[in-house]
Amino acid sequence: MTVHDSNLMETIIRCKQEKGIYIIAHYYQRDEIQDIADFIGDSYAMAVNARNSDSNIILVAGVDFMAESAAILCPGKTILSPEPAATCPMANSIKTEDILRFKEEHPDGLVVSYVNTPAEVKAYSDICCTSSNAEKILSLLPAERPIFFIPDQNLAGNVSSKLARSVTAFPSSCPIHAALTREEIIKKKQDHPEAALLVHPECDPAVVELADYVGSTAGILSYTRTSPLQEFIIATESGIRHAIWQYRPEVRLIMASDEMICPNMKSITLEKILYSIENLETVVTVPEEISKKAVLALEKMIELTSN
């Protein structure tokens, strides 16, 4: 870490305390951003933490749908995004027209929307889910009702096959996780036979089949904290390594691929966070007519997951 970064971090910490700004960050953020955050988590934990926070100003260090979720769950609070252009290609692939088409063909169907979706899509969904609770959500839905799982076909396939439940999946995937191949993983396992392979469920089912553990970023982090092993192959975005090493600095972490870097997550910098705090920009808002509908899907997720 440079002296410049250290000075920026000190300034950010001082400014956020003076203004009462609460920073939540995703595990995929840069190391230094995780270090200045008040809370670090996956998409589900970020959403719940935003809703439960006592602060009236919350800065979301994550992509746009994460900031939108916070705005939906926290009416009356100011939600800041340090980089509004940080987005998710998979989230943007699904449109409301796709949902309306499914509902027209399946009037009794249910739309399960991954939180990696725009607010407008959530507004047309029956319930949201994350990679950490998708299995539980699907298991609790009536077996006789058709399910449209959007927009991640890999997460949909991996979870539905585990439950032996048929779902209609929207044909889209995370470009970072989906790029991993079975051949790459086999080679990594051959090179590191003592390492446990930890895989995010957004990966291709052929990769998931080889895993020693499959779970969300929070799940992978929890696994490394409790496992007696000293070596892990990590098949998710590289930012999670920082959180793992905070608890177990002695373990060896091997990335499944050197390409496991989300450019949108990494587009957020200390400079952008400081500017956002100092100027209270950019404020994230969701139109009321959309927010009122979208909050139902998010709250339903939290209700079912909390029970």
Please give the helix or strand (H or E) that residue 282 lies within, else none: none
In terms of CATH, what superfamily is 182-255?
Answer: NadA-like (3.40.50.10800)
Mean pLDDT of 152-173: 96
Same fold, 3-87+265-285 and 90-174+290-306: yes
* Residue boundaries of the structural domains of the chain: 3-87+265-285, 90-174+290-306, 182-255
Find the DSSP H helices in the chain. 3-19, 31-36, 43-52, 64-73, 89-93, 96-105, 119-123, 134-140, 153-163, 182-191, 205-208, 217-226, 240-247, 270-279, 288-306
pTM of the full structure: 0.94
In terms of CATH, what superfamily is 3-87+265-285?
Answer: NadA-like (3.40.50.10800)
Class assignment of domain 90-174+290-306? alpha beta
pLDDT value for 8: 94
* Whole-number Å distance between alpha carbons of 115 and 151: 9
Q: What is the pLDDT of residues 265-289, one digit of tens each?
A: 999 999 999 999 999 999 999 999 9
* Whole-number Å distance between alpha carbons of 173 and 218: 20
pLDDT value for 44: 84
Mean pLDDT of 44-66: 94
Name the phi and psi angles at 88, rounded to 5: -130, 115
State yes or no: pLDDT of 307 exceeds 80: no
**Tokens in use for 63?**
């992509």
CA atoms within 13 A on the CB side of 256: 29
